[in-house]
Structure 1
C-alpha cells in the first residue's frame, strides 16, 4: 500500500485512527513537522512564526541548545525510574526558591492533574467539600474543573453548567460559580455557604486581567472565612515573572499549580504549598484517614526534570523577563497600529507576556463581557494570520524569548494584512 506524505494525506490518516482527527488540540488540520527557535514548519514545508509555542511551555523557543544538551546528558543515565532522582529533587528546590507560597512541591505529569490534586488537597486539609471557581476559568479536565468554562447557556450564578458529557449531577452540586473580577459575588457565596474548601482561580483568567485589588480581595475573603485560595499558575507560572503571578501581583495563595514552563517542553507539572498543607501527602504525618494518596508513573521523571531545571536556570539570568516584556510590548504596539489604521474597534487584553485582541469597544472583565466581542471578526483575523504565516491559538498569543527582528517584521506585515481583511467584515 502506497502512503503519501503530504499534510492532506496525514489528515486523512488521522481521521481513521483519532477521534475528531486530532489529539484534543485546537486545530487538527495543522500537522507540524518540526520547530526551531521561534518558528515551526508544517508537513507541507510551510513556515510560520510560532506564537502557540506548544500552548505555552516553549518559552525559550524550540530546540534551545542548552536544554537539548541537558536532556541528552540525562538520557543515557535513564529515562524514568518510578523512584526519587537527583534532577527531580533539584527542580523541586528551584521551584521552592522561586514561588512565594511553596515550601514543598509534589510532581505530577500534567497541569490538569495538578489542579485535580490541588482541589483534593484543599478538601483534605479543610474537611470541607465545595469549590468556588470562576466562569470561563480553565483548570484541566477533571469533573470539577469541567464546569462553566464555556457554558452553552447563561444561567444565574452560582449554578454551574457542565462543559462535558459524563459528569454526574453530584459533582456539579459541589461546585459554585462566580463571575471573574466580582468580589461582591464571591463574598456573598462565602457568607451563604460554610462548606467551601477553596476558591480556585487563574490570576490572569485566560487573557482577562484581574481588576486592581481583586486578587488581594480574594486573599482577604479566604482568610476571613477559613477557605483556601488556589492559584492555577499552569500558564502564568514562570511566564509573567520568575515568581509567576504571585510575584507580579503581590498576592500569595495557599496552594499553587504549575506546569508548562517547568517541564521545558516535556510532560511535567506540580502543585505546591506550605509544609503544613503538603503534609497531607505524608501518611505518617497525618494518619491514614487524612492522607491524600497520589501516585504517577512518570511524576518527576529525570528527563523532564533535567529540561525544566535547565529552563529555569536560563530564566534566572539577568534581563530575561525584561526582554520578554519588551518583546510583548512591541507586539502589542504592532496590533494597535494595524487595527487602528483600519478603524477597527478592539481591546487588547492580557499581559505583555500573554495577550490577544477582542473585537469590541467594551471593557472585557469576565467571561460574559468578553463574549460581546465579534466572533466573526476574530475568525477572519485568525484565519488570515495563519495564511500569512503566523501560528497562534484562536484566543491567545504567547511571545517567546526566541523571537528576533525578522520574526517581528514578518508578524507586523501579517497583522496589517489581517486588519485589512477584518475591516471588510460587515459589523
Structure 2
C-alpha cells in the first residue's frame, strides 16, 4: 500500500462505521446489522458479549434484545458451550474424513426430530434452504417454487431474493420461477397450484412468524380441529409437492422437536439454524430418507445429485457446541423460560404503551417465544420514524432493542430494567406523536431491508 493511499484511508475512515463501510459492502455481513437498521445514537460497533449484555470497545454496556439476530438463545459466551467448542478445536476442528463429533451430531438430530431420517450440516440457513429447494426440484422434476409471502427471509440466493423488490443482478427467468402465497390463506396456495398444475416442486414457509397457524374447523364439526400447516401438508401430499418447513428461527425455540411437533405436521424436508448452537455457525437441511438420499453416493448406477459439499460444514467446534447446546436446553428447561419471558415482556410493552396512550400506534404481539413489536400510523401502515425514536430512547437507557430476541440469561432483573426503560421511551414517543417526530428524532429513520433503492 502506498503512503498516499494509506493516509487517505486513515483520513476517510475516522469512525467505526466509516471504517466498516470502507472495507465491507453494507458495513456488516448481514444487512439487518447495517447502519440503516438502527437509530443514529446506536453503537456503531461492539466488542464482546456476556449473558444478555454486550459492550462497545469504550466499555459502554447494553442489555441486548438482538441476541445475534436470534442465534443466541442461552446467552453470550456460555461457559459450558464454549468449553465444548474448545474441545472440538483441540480435537483438530476439521479432519480429512468425517469425524466422530459429526456422526454424533447427525445421530442426535435424527433421534430428536420425528420427520428426520437424514441430515446434512452446513454453516448458515441460506445454504440449507437452497439445498432443500434443490432436493425438491430433483425429486419432483419440477421447477417452480411456492414461498410464503409474509415470511421475511429464506435465503440470500437468487431463488428467494428474486421474489423481493431487490432484483438487480438476477435473471428474469429465475425471478419467474418463484411464486408467492399467503400465510393462513390455504385458498391462495390452492389457487397457485391450479394456475401452475404439475409445475410446483416445493412449498416453503416457516411454521410461524408474526402469526401462528390458524385453527381450521373440520366440516360438520367431525374430528379434531385442524390448523393451516396441516392443510398445507395435505395439499402438498395431494399434488406431489415437497413440503419444506424452514425452522431456522423456530427450531429449538418452540420445542426440542421443533415447531413442526408443536403444530402436528411432518414436513418432507426441514431446515434449522440460529438457536441450534448458541451463536456458533451451525445449520442443517434434514428430512425424509427418500428425498435426502438423492445426495448420497452409496447407490451404484444412480444419477448423482450434487447436494452440499462444504469444507467447513462439519467443523467440530460448531457441532460440539450444537451437542452441548442441546444438553443445556434439556437440562435447564430453556425453552419454557423463553416462552414465559416473552409473554411477560410482551405484556409489559403493551401495558406501558397503553399507559401512555399509544396502544393504537405501538404494540407487541406474536408467539411468546419469538414476539415482535410494531409501530403503525393511524391507517395501519408501518411508522418507521416512531420505531426509530423508540429504539433511540431505549438506547439512551442502555438497552439495545432492534427487535425482541431474548435468552435464558434474561431474568427478572433484566425484565424490571426493561420495564423502567420502556416507561421513559414511551413517554418520549407519546410526546412525539402529539408534537411531531422531527422535534425528538435525532437522525434518519430506519429503513426496510427489502427496498428497491438505498
TM-score normalised by structure 1 residue count: 0.88
Alignment length, in residue pairs? 403
Residue 196 of structure 1 aligns with which residue? 200
Deviations 1:271-316 (A, max 9, x none): 0011111110114438553523320010111110011110011111
Q: 2:385 aligns with which of 371, 376, 385?
A: 376
The offset of 1:180, in angstroms, is: 2.2
CA distance in 2, matches of 1:11, 1:341: 37
The answer to whether residue 24 in structure 2 is matched with residue 10 in structure 1 is no
Residue 439 of structure 2 aligns with which residue? none
Deviations 1:165-224 (A, max 9, x none): 11100101211112222111101111221210100001123x333322211111111111
Which is higher, the Rg of structure 1 or of structure 2? Answer: 2
- Partner SS, residue 62 of structure 2: strand
CA distance in 2, matches of 1:404, 1:83: 43
Deviations 1:51-97 (A, max 9, x none): 11111121110111111111222222212125311112111122112
Residue 297 of structure 1 aligns with which residue? 311
Residue 54 of structure 1 aligns with which residue? 68
Unmatched segments (≥5 aa) in structure 2? 1-5, 36-43, 216-226, 435-454
- Judged with a 3 Å threshold, the aligned counterparts in structure 2 of structure 1 residues 231 and 42 are, in CA distance, closer, same or farther, namely same
- Partner SS, residue 82 of structure 2: helix
The offset of 1:333, in angstroms, is: 1.3
Deviations 1:228-278 (A, max 9, x none): 110111111101111121122122211000011223322121000111111
Q: 1:34 aligns with which of 44, 48, 53?
A: 48
Residue 355 of structure 1 aligns with which residue? 371
Q: 1:338 aligns with which of 339, 352, 359?
A: 352
Residue 179 of structure 1 aligns with which residue? 182
CA distance in 2, matches of 1:304, 1:257: 17
TM-score normalised by structure 2 residue count: 0.83
Residue 146 of structure 1 aligns with which residue? 161
Deviations 1:350-393 (A, max 9, x none): 2111111123499xxxxxx9x72333222222222223222233
- Partner SS, residue 131 of structure 1: strand
Preserved CA contact (<8 Å) 1:14 1:22:
yes
Residue 441 of structure 2 aligns with which residue? none
Deviations 1:321-347 (A, max 9, x none): 222211111111111111111111144
Q: How does 1:391-410 map to 2 (within 5 A)?
A: 391-393=400-402, 396-410=403-417
Residue 19 of structure 1 aligns with which residue? 25
- Judged with a 3 Å threshold, the aligned counterparts in structure 2 of structure 1 residues 324 and 286 are, in CA distance, closer, same or farther, namely farther
- Partner SS, residue 272 of structure 1: strand
CA distance in 2, matches of 1:164, 1:109: 25
